[in-house]
Amino acid sequence: MAEPVTDLDRPGTGASAAPTTPPPGPRTAAPWLVGGAVTAVLLLLAGRYGYHRDELYFLLCGRHLDWGYVDQGSLVPALARLADTVAPGNLVLLRTPSALIAGAAVVLVAALAREFGAGRGTQLAAAVLAAAAGVVLAPGHLLSTTTVDLLVWLAAAWFAVRMLRTGDTRWALALGLVLGVGMLNKLLPALLGVGLLAGVLIAGPRRLLRDRWVLAGAGIAVLLSVPYVAWQAAHGFPQLSVASSIADGDSSYSGRLDAVVLQLIIISPFATPVWIAGLVALLRRPAWAAYRAIGWAWLVVFAIVLLAGGKGYYDAPLLLVLTAAGAVVTADWARRGAARARQALLATAAALMVASSAILLLPTLPADRLPGFVVDVNYDAGETIGWPAFADSVAAVHRNLPPGEQARAVVLTGNYGEAGALARYGPARGLPRAYSGHNSMASFGRPADDADLVIAVGWERPDRLRAWFTEVTEAGRVDQRVDVDNDENGEPIFVCRGLRRPWSQIWDSEVTHAS
């Protein structure tokens, strides 16, 4: 008996969509030029300001290579280790992978627009939108797990769109490969997989769920994720504790209200109407019925992020996919009615988008005269300023100790960025080793049990320190010598004496939970 055909399996909704889906647009080299320009600009600016706290942490993780860490997989620490081995202390080389990824992201967004039928001019417009997008420029300036996620999600989305348009399910093998490699970075690509699965269940074609190539692609993704998942399982899934902390608002860019607001600004406020138009078109345009699963994928992913209290940028690469679709819709709109007026409006919005992104997202302004509103909008900018001066402040406290105490002192920091900064800049300043209980730093070593003289930095209040020491004295303040509002500038530095219990008794149970 023939299997009944549902609307979700008919031509135009999935694997047989080619007869009714508009053909891709013509090829053009323009997006490659835009992507190359983005990479070049990012490389030129890569050495300005300084390390980000996360980059300092990745360098430390790279010294302790493993299949996983409390808050991430092994991919980015391995990249950091490679860069620091080839050229120690070279910030430009450290950030080169991110600059290349940002350029590739621009090309992929234009390629997605081409899949939706964009002409040469519209593909160029999509590339410009991506080139000025916050989710491309900000991660493109720093080495981060978010940067790798950007490439993984966009490449996976392109493979998915290709599969839906052509009906060739062998693209699922590439999709699974990309998702699997991405899960060596973080488990977030699994969220994209869930979104795509839900999109197919809702909008079709459901026959993909039993296609052998799709199942093989899913198997590849699962197989490649085994090393990191196995590490997490062996260590009690610490990523769940990190996720719970994020949901409680103990991290930047977290919180449900922030997640909603971030959707409106993370590409650019000027581009928000474009991606919204793309979403509506993906869900409603008859000629794009084959792609409805993509629109639903974003809705599902964002709903999960919102309900789980995740960071609002987790779904941002999918917003770029919507932007690619929206560029086609916007180009159609610009050609109707008062075309010149509409095109002038779009050109003005694009110019404002580029200008605002250059000021807010890239280190184009002098660090010592950085306006407060830049850090208010771009928290990460403040976290790339002042680390050498931070180390100077701790070193000044260390030098003021009596010689006998200097010789046996250690440093205890409140977070991994501070420990990473002292690992990078401390030896040249005669500082002892810095320890921290923050995230995977806790497993990189603890002070010796008899280390009873501690310089503590990154602890705004001494209450916790007094539970471990009989004497806690404020001995200085961090002075980064610039007027920037970040997490370190102006914080107290304490000298702690008289350890109440050995570190082996308090490290795992108290210090790691306090950091």
**Other beta carbons within 10 Å of 237:** 14
Of 361, 396, 426, the position where a domain reaches its end is 361
Give yes or no: residues 241 and 93 share one domain.
yes
What is the pLDDT averaged over residues 458-463?
Answer: 86
Look at the block and give the residue holding tokens 């200097």: 406
Give yes or no: residues 397 and 484 share one domain.
yes
Q: What pLDDT digit, counting tens, does each position of 277-320 carry?
A: 999 999 999 999 999 999 999 999 999 999 988 888 999 999 99
Determine the pLDDT at residue 248.
65
Determine the pLDDT at residue 57.
97
Give 252 or 230, the one with higher predicted confidence. Answer: 230
**Other beta carbons within 10 Å of 49:** 23
Residue 379 in domain: no
Give yes or no: residues 357 and 391 share one domain.
no
Which domain range does residue 169 map to? Answer: 29-361
Look at the block and give the residue holding tokens 């769920």: 209
Give yes or no: residues 392 and 340 share one domain.
no
**Other beta carbons within 10 Å of 251:** 15
Q: What pLDDT digit, counting tens, does each position of 384-426 carry?
A: 999 999 999 999 999 999 999 999 999 999 999 999 999 999 9
Determine the pLDDT at residue 310.
84
What is the pLDDT averaged over residues 110-125?
Answer: 96
> Taking Cα atoms as reference points, which of 15, 195, 17, 22 lies closest to residue 122?
22
Q: Give ∠ CA 513-431-90 in degrees, rounded to 5.
A: 90
Please, which pLDDT band fits residue 273 given cuts at 50, 70 and 90? very high
Please, which pLDDT band fits residue 4 given cuts at 50, 70 and 90? very low
Whether the pLDDT of residue 244 is over 80: the answer is no
Percentage of the chain beyond pLDDT 70 is: 94
Whether the pLDDT of residue 336 is over 90: the answer is no
**Other beta carbons within 10 Å of 207:** 19
Residue 100 in domain: yes
Give yes or no: residues 172 and 262 share one domain.
yes
Whether the pLDDT of residue 78 is over 60: the answer is yes
Query: DSSP class of residue 7?
Result: G
Lowest mean pLDDT among 17-26, 223-232, 501-510: 17-26
Residue 201 in domain: yes
Residue 378 in domain: no
Residue 322 in domain: yes
Q: How many domains does the chain have?
A: 2
Q: Mutual orientation of helices 120-131 and 339-361 as an angle, nearest 10°?
A: 30
Give yes or no: residues 285 and 154 share one domain.
yes
Give yes or no: residues 261 and 332 share one domain.
yes
Judged by DSSP in three states, 415 sits in coil
Give yes or no: residues 333 and 414 share one domain.
no
Residue 19 in domain: no
Please, which pLDDT band fits residue 246 given cuts at 50, 70 and 90? confident
Determine the pLDDT at residue 30.
96
Q: What pLDDT digit, counting tens, does each position of 13-71 carry?
A: 333 344 467 899 999 999 999 999 999 999 999 999 999 999 999 999 999 999 999 99
Judged by DSSP in three states, 73 sits in strand
Residue 306 to residues 255, 258, 314: CA-CA distances in angstroms? 8, 10, 10
Give yes or no: residues 412 and 494 share one domain.
yes
What is the pLDDT averaged over residues 487-496?
Answer: 94
Of 327, 361, 395, the position where a domain reaches its end is 361
pTM of the full structure? 0.91
Residue 1 in domain: no
Give yes or no: residues 299 and 441 share one domain.
no
Could you tell me the two tokens for 89? 């202390």
For every residue of 194-246, DSSP letters joined together read HHHHHHHHHHS-GGGGG-HHHHHHHHHHHHHHHHHHHHHHHTT-HHHHHHHHH
Residue 9 in domain: no
Give yes or no: residues 345 and 443 share one domain.
no
Of 361, 379, 397, the position where a domain reaches its end is 361
Give yes or no: residues 34 and 164 share one domain.
yes
